[in-house]
Amino acid sequence: MQRVVGKGGFPCALGSTTKGSLLTTDIAERRRAVENYGGDYPFLHENMRVITEQLDELQFDTDDKVRILTRHLAATQLLQRAETLYRLIFGSQL
């Protein structure tokens, strides 16, 4: 199943993928979409700086940082999906 996420329309697959089942043949294009997700806004860069400083202050090594940031991203995505579903269900009942 294919879905598109983000304003840039980054394609993603639900479930596992293998090397032969990439949604886009141009890996460089997909990498740019991931690297540039969220746009180039000053408030985004400021928030990234604060997060980096907080992780450095807690002295996590690189593997721990990846694990922690992946966990936080997953939790944030779940919260965003719940908010979207809530808005779809109850938003039109005003």
Residue 65: exposure state from Cβ atoms within 10 A (0-12, 13-18, ≥19): middle
State whether 6 and 34 are in the same domain. yes
State whether 48 and 93 are in the same domain. yes
State whether 32 and 70 are in the same domain. no
Residue whose structure tokens are 């808005």:
87
State whether 46 and 82 are in the same domain. yes
In this predicted model, what pLDDT tens digit does every residue of 12-22 receive, in sequence order? 555 545 555 55
* 62-90 and 42-57 helices, crossing angle to 10°: 130
State whether 2 and 28 are in the same domain. yes
What is the domain extent for residue 46?
Answer: 40-94
* Number of separate domains in the chain: 2
* SS3 sequence of the chain: CEEEECCCCEEEECCCCCHHHCCCCCHHHHHHHHHCCCCCCHHHHHHHHHHHHHHHHCCCCHHHHHHHHHHHHHHHHHHHHHHHHHHHHHHHHC
State whether 70 and 45 are in the same domain. yes
Q: Give residue 26's pLDDT band: very low, low, confident or very high (50, 70, 90).
A: confident
Q: Indicate yes or no: pTM above 0.75.
A: no
